[in-house]
Amino acid sequence: MSHIAVDSILPANVYNGLIIDHEATERAELLELKRKHLPALFKILNAHGVADFVELHLLHRHFTLQEGEALVHRALEVPGSEDDVSIYVDIAKAVVCPESIKSSLVPLLWMVSSSGSLVAYEYGLREGAKSLERTMADISSKTWDSFTQEFSVYVHFAGIADIVSLKDRNCINGGEYVVPGMRVLFRVPMEAVDLQPGSGMLESGWKFDAAVEPDASFPECTDGHVTKTRKTSGGTIAHYHETVEDGIDAFNPKEVPLLYTNAMWAAAKSESLWTFSKPITVSA
């Protein structure tokens, strides 16, 4: 069952063929993805009873993987302080993932393949994703297969298979910060991010609350690429979704509290956290 188990790890060359983040955003805008297609796709999710389990996501990549690598996500609880509340953040890192460890992984994001199946392209660790796995197990294989068929037919016919994917709704949502130098992505809950002048947010994930919007016309943004403004050679302003510095200086402490930043960097650099054998024990 492809929605609760990793049948095979996506080859790096296939992952590297995905559109890079800011280019995927541009293509989504060109095709008017949010206005023309998200409402119809949400109706498909609702019709098959999977809208409480998965949400629509912008299919994209952030890094180039080497052969044998995959992008693996881990959730990290950051204890609060007197001024900051305790939160969970998501950290994704490019790590070596031989086929032998696929049983240690669970699918978190799926894309539609050329054959019409849903294929996992980013993963979580099973030891830290028991609740996700149990929730997804509530979807029968028959339901998942019928949903997959209708969903894939739509995205292929509409010509949007290269920019639409699905994400487990139990996976942490928020603003994404990318550090290419370490090939690490940090996703910080929206309520913990205070965008500062020069920062922007490009939508990359959406959910739909049928009880609030029964006509599926107004999807709610759940994920976004945090961007920084840069001046181009032509004197215009462009938004780039990457952090050029490595280390805690990559984040404006007014935008992301230093408490969270310190913990995220400690986790990203912790070898034990990415060996797939030990629980999360990281302190800032």
**Which pLDDT does position 138 carry in this prediction?**
81
Q: Tell me how crowded residue 136 is: count the other CB atoms within 10 A of its CB.
A: 23
pTM: 0.86
Task: Say what the pLDDT of residue 211 is.
Answer: 56
In 169-274, the DSSP E strands lie at 175-179, 184-188, 199-207, 220-231, 237-240
pLDDT, one tens digit per residue, over 69-87 is 999 999 888 887 777 778 8
Q: What is the pLDDT of residues 167-216, one digit of tens each?
A: 998 888 998 888 888 899 999 998 888 988 878 888 899 987 655 555 55
Phi, psi of 54 (to 5 degrees): -130, 155
CA-closest candidate to residue 168, choices 92, 55, 70, 73: 55
pLDDT in tens, 247-274: 555 677 888 888 888 888 888 888 888 8
Question: Where residue 240 falls among pLDDT bands split at 50, 70, 90?
Answer: low
Does residue 142 carry a pLDDT above 90?
yes
CB count in 10 Å sphere of residue 32 = 10
- Percent of the chain whose predicted confidence (pLDDT) is above 90: 40
In the prediction, which pLDDT does 273 show?
Answer: 83
Please say if the pLDDT value at position 130 is more than 50.
no
**Is the pLDDT reported for residue 161 higher than 80?**
yes
More confident residue, 155 or 275: 155
Q: Nearest Cα to 284, choosing from 268, 269, 264?
A: 264
Token code pair at residue 36: 């023309």
Q: State the average pLDDT over residues 37-54.
A: 93
Name the H helices within the chain.
Answer: 12-15, 21-30, 38-47, 130-136, 141-158, 258-269
Distance CA 153, CA 140 (A): 20
Instruction: Give percent of the chain above pLDDT 70.
Output: 81
pLDDT of residue 284: 39
Give the domain ranges of the chain.
12-274
